[in-house]
Structure 1
């Protein structure tokens, strides 16, 4: 574990089952560090920023032969991009890229051609979709 850094901190209060809290206490004691450092290191090492928000991650400490689960949490992915490629826009609308390209070329769907590529505003596409009868 790394020593505490002078980085700014923010309080995090969570309620966990007593057995989980006791495992965290034992892990910090065995590793000779604070619970804060245990949790910070686990989060830094185990978070996958691209993981879907609906998939909770389990953080595990391996201590001697036994595995000790310290806790779990769900994390929200980064916000969706505002500007979409043809493929991204087609996926958003759940249509084929060819069908969306045809609508965009005909001026029916809100998009802009940039050279050989199409770009779409997420907001404009959703507003357009809501207005289509």
Structure 2
């Protein structure tokens, strides 16, 4: 099974934010990404896990554990 790799513009579209926002936050370490040459790349599975974790954090679920 091949894991889907997304580009920065694709992630921006997925998250419904500007590409600059994705670029700036990625440089700070979130969402999880890696570089191939110069451009950032994102694994869809990593993004899904990150979105789930951020959703739980925002709803306070992690605080109740």
Normalised to the residue count of structure 1, the TM-score between the two structures is: 0.37
* Long gaps (5+) in structure 1: 1-80
Which of residues 5, 27, 33 is equivalent to 1:105?
27
- Which of these two proteins has the greater Rg computed from alpha carbons? 1
CA RMSD of superposed structures (Å): 1.4
Instruction: Tell me the residue number matched to 2:46.
Output: 124
Instruction: Tell me the residue number matched to 1:86.
Output: 8
Q: CA deviation at 1:115?
A: 2.0
Higher fraction of helix? 2
Determine the C-alpha separation between the residues in 1 that align with 2:21 and 2:7: 14
Higher fraction of strand? 1
Structure with higher RCO (Cα < 8 A, 6+ apart): 2
Normalised to the residue count of structure 2, the TM-score between the two structures is: 0.72
